[in-house]
Amino acid sequence: MKSCCASTSTARSASDPELQEIGMNTIGKAFASAVRIASAIAFAVAGACMVAMMVHIFLDVLLRGLFNKPLTGTLEIVSSYYMVAVSFLPLAALELSRDMVFVEVFTARMSASRRRVMDAFARLLAFGAMGLIAVSAAKYAWKQTLRGEFMDVVFFDLLIWPTRWIAATGFAFAALAALVVLVRTLRDRLVGPDPQDDGTRHGAID
């Protein structure tokens, strides 16, 4: 009876690391999936803002040319809302897909393993830089929110403080995306890369 209990206890203790590893993998996959979904939503919002911006500008030009009655505040709305969303919200999706600009003058002839080391270092720097920018942007957005920042547009006051949060959100998502790519790059370095990855995809997340 004692030997049976001892063997059962040994089996449980032996399986604990495996269970912990499975749990960590599950958490990691859930986190990566959440970041991927958030980046996709942000990218879709940026696309919608681009379409809205084109329609808005088209209507402004049309009304100005035909009736000499342009839409009030077009320039301010485009520069303060549409352009901010289009510029910052897609950052996370670009980071995950590795569609950022790469300069490979010094790394093109490196082996795949060395390129992954360089990519991991670059992702670490990107995570730190984007995280700091996100925190700074959030602090500034909070300050402007308390002030109720607005812009005087002839016939009405255009609230500007909500757009400050767009930049903060975009950089926050980008920092999380850089973290996901960093973890994947380190995993490929320690566990082994995807057989189809020759190191030129820079840790892209499909």
Backbone phi and psi for residue 150, each to the nearest 5 degrees, phi listed first: -150, 170
What is the tens place of the pLDDT at every residue in 36-65? 999 999 999 999 999 999 999 999 999 999
Token match 């063997």: residue? 7
Taking 50 as the threshold, does the pLDDT of residue 21 lie above it? no
Residue ranges covered by each domain of the chain: 2-190
> Strand 156-159 to strand 150-153: parallel, antiparallel, or no bridges (unpaired)?
antiparallel
Mean pLDDT for all residues in the chain: 80
Residue 27 or residue 43, greater confidence:
43
